[in-house]
Structure 1
Amino acid sequence: MSSAPEFDPKNMQFRQLGNSGLRVSILSFGGWLTLGGTQDAKATEALLKLAFEHGVNTFDTAEVYSGGKCEIAMGQAIKNLGYERSDLVIITKIFFGTGSKSPNGKGLSRKHIVEGLDASLKRLQMDYVDVVKAHRPDVSTPMHEIVRAFNHVINTGKAHYWGTSEWSSFQIQEAHDIADKLGLIPPVSDQCQYNMFHRERPEKEYAPLYEKYGYGTTIWSPLASGVLTGKYNDGVPDDSRLANHKDMAHRLTSEEGKANIEKVRKLTEIASSLDTTPTILALAWCASKKHVSTVILGATKPEQLEENLKALDLLEKLTPEVDAKIEEVLANKPEAESTWGR
């Protein structure tokens, strides 16, 4: 019987997930829009293997991604690759279900949190996940029920930590208050959209949470659906993601969209001065923020992932002077009430 591949962090950097003791790679790999669709098993294995060999230990999925097929693909790939479970940090999310019409097939009731996670674990072929997140807030379920349910799955060994995704700061505060009052485990991080064009919530709204709880963030859409790569500077290519999302493509022709494209052109000049690409610049900029625990990368091809992972090497070049040039181009920094960034 061959031994499991040994995890080698290479030059990867690791951060605590919020105020927890869990260490996550600052660049992680996500399966949204990537795994469980038209991609075959070998292609999935190639992506996970490449990420692992570059020191990525954190992998993100959700019950809703491809109707549960993303979890199946990720779990099978990890099994086939023979990785030690203890080397990996697996994050999944519960809320949207997998498409069931059952009235309890989605949401954050105790029933769905427990049964939904059980189903996720079965698809992943794992005994536990490291982090289970509430994929969205559920205003129809009392917060005390949500907090107790996530504590239940932790206490029964099905997860080590729990978190949120796109919750308001008020909802996160409420969850912490209830956990504190009842002596329960609070959430440790939020999975939120954050990029050069989407900054208000993570930089301003969450600022008090960082200071009060050491709350962390796991970031999705760091490239603003590909806009920050520069590939839409001259229109929407037929083979691009936005070609199949007309509403998103239409935004590029709005006044704000046109202004953002012009900003990308200027950001490309800054990237060129650093001998890099606007893609790598945008990813490194996001990862450089101190309250970001990990930036989730999504790629369908190994060469895309290889390119994205170069963001790690750019971090040391993002000096205060470079950051000032970026801010001058963006001109959209929220006026946070507390410290953010460096």
Structure 2
Amino acid sequence: MTVGVALLLDLTSRLPRAGASAASAAAHSHPGLSAAAFAATAAAAFSSSGVPLSARHLFGFHGFTVAHCDAGTTAGWNDGSDELVNELNTKILDSMQYARKDYFHNTTKEYPSELKPLFSAFGLKNFTITTLRSFLLYYLPLIQPKPHTDSEDEDDDLLHDAQEKPVDLVTPFYNSVKQIMRETSIVTTRRVLERIVVRHVSQRTAWKLLKDASKSSKRKAARGMSTPQYTYCVARTTFRAHALGVSAAWVVQSIIEVYRCFIRKPSDDYESDDQFFDMNKFRLFGRKIYGITIKSCFSLVLASVGAGIGALVHPVHGQWFGCALGDVAGPIIAIIVFEKMQLPL
């Protein structure tokens, strides 16, 4: 209807010149027609914008109203339109300022994934530390003080003969070499798992699995967390960061058990070859994998708990020491617990 009124006014304006002034004066002499013309024109322009009348409330437009009043009053927007426009402008300006402030204070978090070299275990520093630790592990028990006795009984002669037996230095050497190969294999396997994680999981998950737990503990210590929350956060971060290392150790140990159960020849301890070549080897392999899995789970959980407790002493060194101590104590505690519960492990 508003469009029709606008068309009628347009046709009226196109009348011949003789009656143009009279028609125009007649059309605009009445305030109601003037208001109707203004409202019709505005409504036609708004309808041409493509927004249907039934959906204008969704866009915040409440339409136009016509002031049905006496002469001397002009039609226009609703009462308080100036306040509405000012309020809308204020809201837009405030939202822009808040967005700008939120961008500078809470910038988008980045997840950098720093991959170490694939054969970092064979670097000079790492390989030297691994070698020294392995040799000390098996050769230190040989360096023990001899028991001193003052008695001159016959038992002393037997003890003296036993002490003069040659010390076996070959077996500890073989064990040390095996330990070096095992540790370097675990580190290399972890590097392979890190590359698989970066390639096949999200960037955020890969960052959590590859982050340095000690540095993360130091950053958390500067946030002023409460003691329970700080301990929980450090333990959770250590659990994620230490998961790949435990997984790598599980993979390497499982491969070793595959070699022992299916490839290596049976030793003399077996009563017959049937225990090696029969279906019992699958049962033996299953028990070995079961025990490795239980020990790995205990190691991961206790390493996380130890890191959370150690971080209370020192954010960096305490976290590292607690993680290492829990990692070593995990398999031992698992054996003790299963022996107390009389369960096979």
Superposed pair shares fold, TM > 0.5:
no
TM-score per shorter chain, which class? under 0.3
Q: Could you say which structure has the higher helix fraction? A: 2
Using structure 2 for the length normalisation, give the TM-score: 0.23
Q: Could you say which structure has the higher strand fraction? A: 1
Give the structure with higher Rg (CA). 2
Using structure 1 for the length normalisation, give the TM-score: 0.23
